[in-house]
Amino acid sequence: MHSQPKPEQDSREWQAMRVANFLEVSPNSTAKEVDAACDVGCITKVFSDMPKLGYGVSKAWRTERCDQGNRTRQVRTYTLLYRPETLPDLFGDT
């Protein structure tokens, strides 16, 4: 997947949009996977702000093997539920 180029002024809105675009095609991704793909700086801040910006993101757990396959651990995953609703143009032609 080709990621979108970063805008010159990388606002939280642009960061949230890149994260949402990634989660749409790669659900159940870890924060580390999302950050590597989207390069947002601090992924936890973006996840924290996404509900305020109108995005719905669910959290779950995934079991991964570690210690050369001898143990397992739980990692947090994220999935996009919805994007902000766009309001209709109230003053446009009808």
2-25 pLDDT, tens digit per residue, is 555 555 678 999 999 999 999 999
| Cβ atoms of residues 16 and 55 within 8 Å | yes
Residues 6+ positions from 20 with CB-CB distance below 8 Å: 50, 55, 80, 83
| Cβ atoms of residues 55 and 82 within 8 Å | yes
Q: How many domains does the chain have?
A: 1
pLDDT at 10: 83
**Residue 29 maps to a domain:** yes
pTM of the model: 0.78
**Residue 6 maps to a domain:** no
55-65 pLDDT, tens digit per residue, is 999 999 999 99
φ/ψ of residue 47, rounded to 5 = -60, -35
**Residue 91 maps to a domain:** no
**Residue 40 maps to a domain:** yes
